Amino acid sequence: MKIKKFINKKNKTKIVALSAYSKNIASVLDNYCDLILVGDSLGSVLYNYKSTREVSLNTMIEHSKSVRMGVKKSLMVVDMPHNTYRDPKEALINAKKIISKTKCDAVKLEGGQKIYKIVKNLIKYNIPVMGHLGLLPQSEKTFKFKGQKKSERDKILQDAKLLQDAGVFSIVLECIETSLAKLITKEIKIPTIGIGASNNCDGQILVLDDLIGLNNINVRFVKKYSNVRREISKAVASYAYDVRKKKFPLKKHSY
């Protein structure tokens, strides 16, 4: 039911999506988002991994279990990490494991034609799937935006249509050229969710830590709406001062 309502948002209202890796953050996002993604971006955001390829299935599951406790209204999607969906059988086993242990609403896979049969098989077993095209962090060696060459544009558009045919309910478009994002969004009947893919998509997603300024990152497609890093620094500085000056804890903070 949640997924049907999500699909019906296409051409009606812009979709709001963000990442979350814990219950406390998820419970805040749930008040504003249509979709909350437990992204394998947690590899770099939380664990300082060099790429998302280092993220394990168990790590995704444990963070997703935490997020699930904070999500009541939003659609909750979990990234299937690298090397967990290399063939239909492996993908089915791992997708079932993710859904059974986390109670998420859907899983997300990266790729187009290469995962067509994998996605079809998951859908056959009633596992909702979200697609991901454009820049694919699990397989890219260099991070460059996509859709400059005609051959590349044609391939991404074809992959979008293939994923729709396979049964995905939505597709993330990452770092693709503006007019291509517009074309794909027009050509397919399911919602597109952009990240670095212009406002022509049906919705937008960002990594929350980037949005709130907790990550010390500067990339073109991120707008920083806050500077939480600065606020944390101010709070910790005040705490450290009070402790050293014996201003904390006071009598009212003690038993």
- Split at pLDDT 50, 70, 90, the class of 220 is confident
The total domain count for the chain is 2
pLDDT digits (tens, 9 = 90+) for 124-178: 999 999 999 999 999 987 778 899 999 999 999 999 999 999 999 999 999 999 9
Residues 42 and 108 in one domain: yes
pLDDT digits (tens, 9 = 90+) for 35-73: 999 999 999 999 999 999 999 999 999 999 999 999 999
Q: How much is the pLDDT for 99?
A: 98
Residues 136 and 240 in one domain: no
pLDDT digits (tens, 9 = 90+) for 74-83: 999 999 999 9
Residues 131 and 157 in one domain: yes
Instruction: Write the CATH number for 75.
Output: 3.20.20.60
User: In the annotation, is 187 catalytic?
Assistant: no
What is the Cβ-side half-sphere exposure of residue 118, based on CA atoms within 13 angstroms? 26
Residue in this structure with the two tokens 């009606």, named with its chain if needed: 12
Q: How much is the pLDDT for 174?
A: 97
Residues 19 and 81 in one domain: yes
Q: How much is the pLDDT for 13?
A: 95
Residues 247 and 175 in one domain: no
Length of the chain as a residue count:
255
Q: What is the mean pLDDT of the chain?
A: 96
Q: How much is the pLDDT for 142?
A: 78
* Structural domain of 255: 227-255
Residue 93 has pLDDT above 90, yes or no: yes
Name the H helices within the chain.
2-7, 23-29, 42-45, 57-70, 88-102, 116-124, 150-166, 178-187, 208-211, 228-244
Residue 217 has pLDDT above 90, yes or no: no
Residues 86 and 139 in one domain: yes
Residues 123 and 180 in one domain: yes
Q: How much is the pLDDT for 187?
A: 98
Taking the alpha carbons at both ends of the chain, their separation in whole angstroms is: 50
Model pTM score:
0.96
Q: Over range 81-109, report the average pLDDT.
A: 98
Q: What's the rounded Cα separation, in Å, for the pair 84 and 94?
A: 6
Q: Over range 197-204, report the average pLDDT.
A: 97
Residues 203 and 252 in one domain: no
Residues 237 and 170 in one domain: no
Residues 235 and 217 in one domain: no
Burial of 61 (0-12, 13-18, 19+ CB in 10 A): buried
Q: What's the rounded Cα separation, in Å, for the pair 128 and 141?
A: 29
Residues 249 and 124 in one domain: no
Q: Over range 115-121, report the average pLDDT.
A: 98
Residues 116 and 181 in one domain: yes
Catalytic residue among 90, 140, 152, 174: 174
Q: How much is the pLDDT for 246?
A: 96
- The CA-based angle 135-141-143, given to 5 degrees, is 45
Residue 218 has pLDDT above 90, yes or no: no
